[in-house]
Structure 1
Amino acid sequence: MIELKEVNIENFWEVISLDVLEEQKEFVASNAVSIAQAYVQKELKPQAVYYANQLVGFVMTCIDRDDHEYWIYRLMIDSQLQGKGYGKAALQLIIQSIQSDKTKHCIYLGVEPENNIAVKLYQSFGFEFTGQVCGHENIMCLKY
């Protein structure tokens, strides 16, 4: 069972030790950078992804301070644990958690268009490209 837990002193070093495959490093910021970003952007919520009490990944979400909408800023599964369904299960849990807030109706995320694995995952959940581009990322939205 997938769980999301707070990043804290007990799991911090293990969380920042997680890494993606070499060919994925251009697509996602390191967990250390993400946690530092959350320190200065208080709306960001970094969380560790666990499966059966084993750390498998990292996610960071927020209600964006500019557009006041839900965003999935980061989602990564450790390179040694990819392909086991943890990313899909984590994304499903994140979406369910966000959708419990009936005051919002869309979840946004940015994805590098070359990151085919991520694009296919997000599309399998109903995310669609909006036509917006932010930096090098194309914006996707899941309406609910």
Structure 2
Amino acid sequence: MGIMLKQVTKENWYECNNLEVYKEQEGIVAPNYNSIILSLLYENWNAKCIYEDDILIGLLLYGIEEDTSKPMLLRFMIDKKFQGKGLGKKAMLKLLDLIKVEYSNIKFYTTVSPQNISAKKLYESVGFEYTDEIMWDENVMVVQL
């Protein structure tokens, strides 16, 4: 089965909310409840649980950013128990395939904190490149799909 992206539901939201990152990542990665709430309050944001087979391993949030109208990945996290195993890259590739279906050939954006070296490497490994923009005190990256 591999990596699957599933909608956050009343059946999986609690488990998704309880996923954890390492202590040193806590100031960089937003809490999952924040992403879940955004997806419920705003139609332009979609939260997806990331599964490896039937095991919940992460969460992501993507959509259209209100101020810039750019399609973007707003949040991406893999639980600390599953980091460093290549699952983040597989999940990111699955997301990019989904974005191609939902939005067609577009530029897809994300932001990365200068301190988040692992996220920077992940994004670069799937084709994201830096722009000259700064958003929310983070560097903006883009990939052409």
The TM tier, using the shorter chain, reads over 0.9
TM-score scaled by length of structure 2: 0.92
Counterpart Cα distance in 2 of 1:63 and 1:96: 17
1: CA distance, partners of 2:39 / 2:53: 26
Amino acid corresponding to residue 62 of structure 1 in structure 2: G
**Identity over aligned residues, as a percent?**
34
- TM-superposed CA distance for 1:36, in Å, is 1.4
Q: CA deviation at 1:30?
A: 0.5
Aligned residue in 2 for 1:49: 50
The answer on 1:70 being equivalent to 2:47 is no
The gaps in structure 1 that reach 5 residues or longer are: none
Instruction: Measure the CA separation in 2 of the matches of 1:80 and 1:136.
Output: 28
1:97 aligns with 2:121: no
Q: Which residue of 2 aligns with 1:123?
A: 124
Q: 1:59-79 CA distances to partner (integer Å, 9 max, x unpaired)?
A: 111123333332011110001
Give the SS at the match of 1:71. strand
Shift in Å, 1:81: 1.2
**TM-score w.r.t. structure 1 length?**
0.93
For this pair of structures, how many residues does the alignment match?
A: 143
Q: Which position in structure 2 is the counterpart of 1:86?
A: 87
Taking only aligned residues, the RMSD between alpha carbons, in angstroms, comes to 1.3
**Offset, 1:131:** 1.2
CA distance in 2, matches of 1:15, 1:23: 20
- Gapped runs of 5+ residues in structure 2? none
